[in-house]
Amino acid sequence: MSGKLAFVLSMIIFGAVGVFAKFIPLSSSEIAFWMSIIGSCFLLAIFVYKKESFSRITIVQNKWPLMLSSLALCGNWIFLFQAYKETTIANAALSYYFAPVLVICLSPIILKEKLVGRKIVYVGVALIGLFLIVQSQSIDNSGHFIGIVYGLIAACFYTVLTFTNKRIRGLKEPENTIIQLSLAAFFLCLYIVGTTGFQVMQISFGFVLVLIVLGIVHAGVGFFLFFLGMSQLKGQSIAILSYIDPLTSLVISTMIIGEQMTVLQILGAVLLLGSTLLSELEKT
């Protein structure tokens, strides 16, 4: 499989996750747990099949970034899935995709990267786009507003995940992903046991099958294709193809699920996605 095809398929898979997360009758934390455990087991099976081994010394050297990144992954999934439950798939996906803007704003502080004038303009346009998306929801639609807020919180966790992964050195794929998914499953298990407890036995067998598919396809196959594609593509291609993710969410939201988007939402989506796309093209 070519790197471009692998990456495109991973973006479509990631963009479709909202349909599953929105309708599975489990808490967001439990959905994230089963995704983590099923996905890590799937990747581990591939890892063992290829007769690879874990580099223990490298893992120990990266223990703190790995733990922080795994915690960020937990928060990212919990709030993103809750956003899907509270608002439309389009609103959740668009608010979540504010993460690249946060990365741009924090890069000068954390990564010591220079923030040029054009990037500031892109950030301003993206903020206007986000404002239009939020403004399109009336006061009566408080649930939608809360969902957008959850999407923004998920974007903050994704930003932490992005910066933390830049601190990880020497870990190959899928070793890095297996470890992070496994740690995420461990942390989520502790959280669920200490709060609501596991409810998976109370849902129908059909939803259990959907949950298994979500874990294998999204967390397992999706991440495998994602890293396979990244290893073969140039940065500019990755930046452009990444926009298949939110666009897939928008297509599913409007054309398949039948959710409606207002004119303000459409304009906000164009401003938000367009400004971040131009910024990433310049960055690469």
Q: Report if residue 104 sits inside a domain.
A: no
Reported as a single tens digit per residue, the pLDDT across 166-179 is 788 888 778 888 99
R_g over Cα of the chain? 19
pLDDT for the residue 150: 93
The per-residue pLDDT for 143 is: 62
pLDDT of residue 148: 87
DSSP state of 231: T
What are 207-256's pLDDT values in tens digits? 999 899 889 998 888 877 877 776 676 655 655 666 777 778 888 887 77
Q: What is the per-residue pLDDT for 101?
A: 73
Q: Is residue 53 part of a domain?
A: yes
Domain ranges, residue 40: 3-91+140-259
Q: Report the distance separating Cα 280 and Cα 20, nearest Å.
A: 29
Length of the chain equals 284
Q: Tell me how far apart the alpha carbons of residues 219 and 180 are, in angstroms, rounded to a whole number.
A: 11
pLDDT for residue 113: 65
Helices (H), 87-234: 89-96, 99-110, 117-135, 142-165, 175-194, 205-213, 223-230
Distance (Å, whole) CA 151 – CA 80: 5
Ranges in the chain, pLDDT < 50? 138-140
CA 182, CA 159: separation in Å to the nearest integer?
20
> What domain count does the chain have?
1
Check if the beta carbon of residue 84 is closer than 8 Å to that of residue 92.
yes
Q: Distance (Å, rounded) from C-alpha 166 to C-alpha 283?
A: 16
Read off φ and ψ for residue 112, nearest 5 degrees: 60, 35
Q: What is the pLDDT of residue 238?
A: 59
| Residue 145 within any structural domain of the chain | yes
CA–CA dist 169, 80 (Å, integer): 28
Residue 120 inside a domain? The answer is no
Classify residue 172: in a domain, yes or no.
Answer: yes
Give 29's contacts (C-beta < 8 A, 6+ positions apart): 74, 78, 188, 191, 192, 195, 196
Whole-number Å distance between alpha carbons of 125 and 120: 9
Q: Is residue 18 part of a domain?
A: yes
Is residue 112 in some structural domain?
no
d(CA 231, CA 6): 10
Q: Residue 69 domain-assigned?
A: yes
Calpha distance 29→147 (Å, rounded)? 16
When the pLDDT of each residue in the chain is averaged and rounded to a whole number, the result is: 82
Q: Are 230 and 238 in contact (CB under 8 A)?
A: yes
List the end-to-end C-alpha distance of the chain, in Å, as a whole number.
24
